[in-house]
Amino acid sequence: MKFKRFLAIFLAAGLAFGGLNLIFIGQAGAAERSIVLVATYPSVSSPRDREVNIDLKIINKGTDGEIVDLAFVKAPVGWDVSLRPQFTRLDISSAYVEAEKTLELEFHATPPKDVASSLYVFTLQATTKDKQLTSSVDINVTITGEAKIESGVKLNTQYPSLSGNSTSTFEFKVDLVNEGNEDLSFDVRARGPARWNVSIRPAWEQKEVSTVRVKARETQGLDVTLRPPYDINAGEFITTLVASSGSIQDGIELKAMVTGTYTMAMGTSTGRLNTDITAGDKRDLTIIIANQGTADLKNISLTASRPDDWNVTFSPDRIDTLEPSKTIEVGVKIEAPKNTIPGDYAVTLRTSAEQVSQSIDLRVTATVPTLWGWVGIIIVVLVVAGLATVFTIMGRR
């Protein structure tokens, strides 16, 4: 009886001991995992114009290597933050950490230029790929020193010079850049040639403005339109656009190259487009050539279309330059040969410049000389008298 009780106690103890061994063996066989993220200096102070660099460590205490995703779950607005392996410039968002090893990284943070003196907290989190393990660390950065206020303005345009004739509209695209670190209102004005019309509008808008507000470090597009007066002569015309805010300002020159218009008028001094001429004689006329455009007319030549054997000459027959709004008188001499048959004839007078030409058509009535006219009349009278005499004699018979 005692032996049986002892045997039962022994077996129970053995089973209990064996079960403990199984549990121990099972725990020893399972892989151990542990990820720890630490910062060498979790709290630092830095001047506002300096990049903050802090060493980080990812410690893998487990028995297997781990791929770890890295992310900032908290970061101040406007800061430029990144993680890099030591001694490289590669920005990373994940890393592989060998079993029972430590991976060293660098935390980089650049503050915005207008950063205020204060405490800024960054929270970095490391997470294994299977999302089973996480570790995070807070990095406290205290910015010291007074904020430096920067200011500046810049006007830019891709095409500072445009060309066109006097009826053209010159449209310039200008960028107004606020180079400071605070929002500002800028007065914009233009100083242009007399009687030119100048309008300034924000890009993509129709309303004209004299003041625009531009946020810090941003650019406002402007449409600047120049319209010349109707009677403008050809030439280069400069308009200066100025943007200012307080003591800061910048200016830019916008050049309009006016090529002018070419218009020529031509007519007789009397306004009549008909005349007469006696066969074998000459007729003197005066024509007027006017430059009604806004550019010089150059190398003007004069020619004529006339009946055969007729002669037309000009004095002068060539004009080097005729300025805008100017006129010139030209003498015209028309000669008809002696054998010209009485009647109406067409003579075309033409003037041609390098850029434009003009012409007028004259109706010239040709007549015979007066002596021959009387001779003709006498012959007709004699013929009529002869016929009358013949009829009278024949009538008596």
pLDDT tens figures, 365-389: 999 876 555 666 677 777 777 777 7
Enclosing domain of residue 88? 35-144
Is the distance from CB of 220 to CB of 241 less than 8 angstroms? no
CA distance linking residue 144 with residue 118, whole number of Å: 7
Whether residues 164 and 254 share a domain: the answer is yes
CA distance linking residue 315 with residue 163, whole number of Å: 37
pLDDT reported for residue 10:
47
In a domain, 130, yes or no: yes
In a domain, 360, yes or no: yes
CA distance linking residue 293 with residue 303, whole number of Å: 22
CA distance linking residue 288 with residue 286, whole number of Å: 7
Boundary-marking domain end, from 144, 168, 200: 144
CA distance linking residue 278 with residue 337, whole number of Å: 9
% pLDDT > 70, the chain: 88
CA distance linking residue 79 with residue 352, whole number of Å: 72
pLDDT reported for residue 18:
41
Whether residues 119 and 89 share a domain: the answer is yes
Beta strands in 246-296 (DSSP E): 248-258, 264-268, 274-278, 282-291
pLDDT reported for residue 102:
94
* pLDDT of residue 148 exceeding 70: no
In a domain, 281, yes or no: yes
Question: How far apart, in Å, are the Cα atoms of 245 and each of 151, 182, 254, 312?
Answer: 10, 12, 21, 71
Boundary-marking domain end, from 224, 258, 292: 258
Is the distance from CB of 304 to CB of 312 less than 8 angstroms? yes
Whether residues 169 and 91 share a domain: the answer is no
Mean pLDDT computed over every residue of the chain: 87
In a domain, 22, yes or no: no
Whether residues 216 and 253 share a domain: the answer is yes
Whether residues 251 and 283 share a domain: the answer is no
- Contacting residues for 6 by C-beta, under 8 A, at least 6 apart: none
**Tally of structural domains, the chain:** 3
Is-above-0.75 flag for pTM? no
CATH of the domain at 333: 2.60.40.10
Tokens of 60: 């893998």
Burial class of 196 by CB neighbour count within 10 A (0 to 12, 13 to 18, 19+): middle
Q: Confidence class of residue 395 from pLDDT cuts 50, 70 and 90? A: low
Whether residues 228 and 167 share a domain: the answer is yes
pLDDT reported for residue 319:
95
Whether residues 114 and 206 share a domain: the answer is no
In a domain, 194, yes or no: yes
Tokens of 22: 């199984």
pLDDT digits (tens, 9 = 90+) for 333-351: 999 999 999 999 999 999 9
Q: 301 pairs with which residues across the strands? A: 318, 352
What is the pLDDT averaged over residues 261-270? 92
Tokens of 25: 């063996």
- DSSP 8-state code for residue 115: P
The SS3 call for residue 112 is coil
In a domain, 12, yes or no: no
Whether residues 52 and 69 share a domain: the answer is yes
Whether residues 84 and 184 share a domain: the answer is no
Whether residues 160 and 175 share a domain: the answer is yes
In a domain, 316, yes or no: yes
Is the distance from CB of 314 to CB of 270 less than 8 angstroms? no
pLDDT reported for residue 17:
40
Q: Confidence class of residue 29 from pLDDT cuts 50, 70 and 90? A: very low
Whether residues 168 and 231 share a domain: the answer is yes
- How many Cα neighbours within 13 Å face the side chain of 244? 9
Whether residues 106 and 137 share a domain: the answer is yes
196 closest CA partner among 156, 253, 235, 238: 238
The SS3 call for residue 291 is strand
In a domain, 196, yes or no: yes
Boundary-marking domain end, from 202, 232, 258: 258
